[in-house]
Each structure stands twice: as structure tokens, then as C-alpha cells.
Structure 1
Amino acid sequence: MSIDIRDAYRRALDAFGQRVHLIRADQWEVITPCVDWNVRALVNHLVNESLWAPELLAGRTVGEVGDVFDGDLLGDDPIKAFDTAAHEAVQASASAGALTRVVHLSFGDVPGEEYITELFADALIHTWDLSQAIGVVDRLDPELVDACATWFAGAEEAYRQSGVIGEHAEVPAEADPQTRLLAAWGRRA
């Protein structure tokens, strides 16, 4: 990957956050392209991931953190909840040693760089999901699309086998890079 993954993650979270700030009061219950998730559940998912990041990047295990981040994390001010959690996650990913630190995930240990890459990819793809749900421009940063596609080419099968993503959607050969990436993630752009 030619881009610094910490910068890619920050940019992906920023793009998601820009869309969060565009959510109208009547859109929180709108269904997203993610099966069984409405806008509120999707934003809650990103807040959850963002709250976990500082803990896991500090070397804590899933067991040590426990269920503190279960349930609704958005409260009465979902936008503030997202902004605060995203800021903390970006700070943690930029900390000294974040890329080389061992991160203890539920399925095993991975280098910090891999964990941050997974967070980046999730934020990027969910930016498109949120854009679709609330009806705003769904074009993703082409540099981030390319970085994600490069990484995901080696991770796609593992994601599919674990049930995290749907079947690869069919796209025409002339489809643009964003459409191809979304198809790999099971999205129909």
C-alpha cells in the first residue's frame, strides 16, 4: 500500500463523519445497504469500532475490555458520539508504535498495521453505505478506493468465508474501481 494506513484511516473516518453530519432527524431509522442495519445502527457500529481502537491499540484484550461497548453508544447526541469516538480512534492509530504493536482480537493476534487497515476498509465501505441510505453523493476518495482494493484482494476470501461480507456482486468489465471494490464487498453499486 503506497499510502500511510494511518492517514488512510483518518481520511476514511473523516469522510464517514462528514456524512454523519448530513443525517437529517428523520433519517436515523432509514435502512442501509447493510443487511438489518438502519442509519442509527450503522453509525453505532462505527462508534463501537472507534471506541475499541484505543483499547486494543494499547494492548488490552477483548476479555479485559469486556462488554463496556455493547448496546447503544449514541445516546441523545449521535453526531457528538461519533465525533468524539472517531477523534480518539485516530489519535490511537497515530500513536507511537501503533503499527507494530500486537493487537489481540477475538479471532487471534494481528499486527497493529493489519488492525488499522481493517478499520480503514470498514470505515470506507460504510461511508458508501451511509451515503446510499441518506441520499448524498456516494463517490469515495479514489486514492482510498485503490488502497482498499489492493489490500482487499488478499483478504476478500477470508472475509467471505467468515460470513462478514456477502457474495461478490457481478459487475461489467468496464466498471470503475469504486464499483469493482464495492462488488468485492458484496455491494451492488
Structure 2
Amino acid sequence: MTHPSLRLIPEAVARFGDRVHAVGDDRWNDATPCTEWTVRDLVNHLVAEHLWVPHLLAGETLAQVGDRYDGDVLGADPVRAWDEAAGRSLAAWQDADLSGTARFSFGEAPLTVYADQILVDLTVHEWDLARGSGQDEALDPAAVDRSLAYARANVTRMAGLGILAPPVATTSTDPTVQLLSLLGRAV
């Protein structure tokens, strides 16, 4: 049986890509809910992350990949950079055998965890990009549900790594609001 996140990643990549394509020329320097990132910085983060995917799924180590994706990976055409990185990432996920493990900055983990993390990142950053660039903020319910389950089970560990803002209290029963709040977004 295919891992649930692996089934959802292609659609999540497409949705994020649709958002990238819809960013107006005058919006790339606008702020996002990720307080230190502009729209361009946010897209740069996702492009770099998806450039890493083929390497990690092929069993390469962090040292082997090195710093080649540090800094600006967007160049003069952020949309083209996203499309190219997304295409390589999707091809790697399509052929992925998630039975193994990989070494990440936080330690060794199953590739199924990596798939979950990629889905969470795509889903939450889709909302960040929509909010920062003035687009519709609706998210896919299936991606939200899977991401929320992962976030609930791992929020303490993720917060300990310093990669998230502290959770924002909410009384909402809406899964999207719960996910975003859990991952430090004020909705």
C-alpha cells in the first residue's frame, strides 16, 4: 500500500505551483506569516527543499549534497526555478521506495517521515504564500488532515529543533485553523 503522504504530494506540489504562478510581479517582496521571509524567500525555501528531494531519496548524504542549494536558488525567474525543482522532486517521489531511511539535519529517520514532512511543508507554506501574496487561502482538506495528524504527533520535537514559531492558542474546531495555529500561525 502506498504511504498516505506519498499519494498527496503530487497534488500538493501542483497546488503550491499554482500559487507560485499566481504571484503578481509586485508581490515578491511582500511579507509572509513566516516573519523573516518575504514571498520570494518563502518560494526560495521550497525550491531548495525540492532540489534536495532527489538526492535524499537516492540515498545521498547531507555531506554529499553539501551547500549547493544554500542561498538564492531562484535566480531571475522564480516561477521557472519552482517548476524545474518541482519536476525533479515529483519524478523522484514517483520512483521512491520509502522502506529505507535517510540522514537529515535532525538525525536519521524513515523516508515515510520525510514524505510526511514534505507534505506538511507544502501545505502550510501554501497557506503562507497565499496569505503573503494576497491569494485565496483555502487548503486541500485531505492534505490538512494528514498534516495535522503528523503535526500533533511531532510538534514538541519540531519546536525543539527551532524550526517553528510557538503554537498559537485557538478554540477553533476547523482542522485548517488547528494546523496553522499548531505550527505558529495566527489565523
TM interval, short-chain normalised: over 0.9
CA distance in 2, matches of 1:45, 1:96: 22
1:186 aligns with: 184
In 1, are the aligned partners of 2:106 and 2:161 still within 8 Å (CA)? no
CA distance in 2, matches of 1:143, 1:167: 24
1:33 aligns with: 33
In 2, are the aligned partners of 1:57 and 1:101 still within 8 Å (CA)? no
Name the TM-score, length of structure 2 as normaliser. 0.95
1:48 aligns with: 48
Q: Secondary structure, in 3 states, of the residue corresponding to 2:22?
A: coil
User: Number of residue pairs matched?
Assistant: 186
Deviation track 1:77-116 (CA, whole Å, cap 9, x = no partner) reads 110110110111111112141x112212122211111111
Deviation track 1:22-64 (CA, whole Å, cap 9, x = no partner) reads 0111111001000210011100000000000000110000101
CA distance in 1, matches of 2:161, 2:96: 31
Q: Where do 5+ consecutive residues of structure 1 fail to align?
A: none
Deviation track 1:104-130 (CA, whole Å, cap 9, x = no partner) reads 212221111111111110111000000
After superposition, residues 50-129 of structure 1 pair within 5 angstroms as 50-97=50-97, 99-129=98-128
Name the TM-score, length of structure 1 as normaliser. 0.94
Q: Partner letter of residue 117 of structure 1?
A: D
1:16 aligns with: 16
CA distance in 1, matches of 2:159, 2:96: 33
User: Moved runs in structure 1, 4+ residues, more than 6 A?
Assistant: none
Q: CA RMSD in A?
A: 1.4
Q: Secondary structure, in 3 states, of the residue corresponding to 1:27?
A: coil
Displacement of 1:161 in angstroms is 1.5
Q: Secondary structure, in 3 states, of the residue corresponding to 1:104?
A: strand
Displacement of 1:3 in angstroms is 6.7
Q: Partner letter of residue 60 of structure 2?
A: R
1:137 aligns with: 136
CA distance in 2, matches of 1:101, 1:52: 17
Displacement of 1:17 in angstroms is 0.7
Q: Partner letter of residue 77 of structure 2?
A: D
Q: Where do 5+ consecutive residues of structure 2 fail to align?
A: none
Q: Partner letter of residue 15 of structure 2?
A: A
Q: Partner letter of residue 109 of structure 2?
A: V
CA distance in 1, matches of 2:3, 2:173: 23
Q: Secondary structure, in 3 states, of the residue corresponding to 1:103?
A: strand
- Given candidates 160, 163, 175, the residue that maps to 1:177 is 175
Displacement of 1:7 in angstroms is 2.0
CA distance in 1, matches of 2:104, 2:159: 18
Displacement of 1:9 in angstroms is 1.6
2:7 aligns with: 7
In 1, are the aligned partners of 2:31 and 2:38 still within 8 Å (CA)? yes
CA distance in 2, matches of 1:93, 1:114: 13
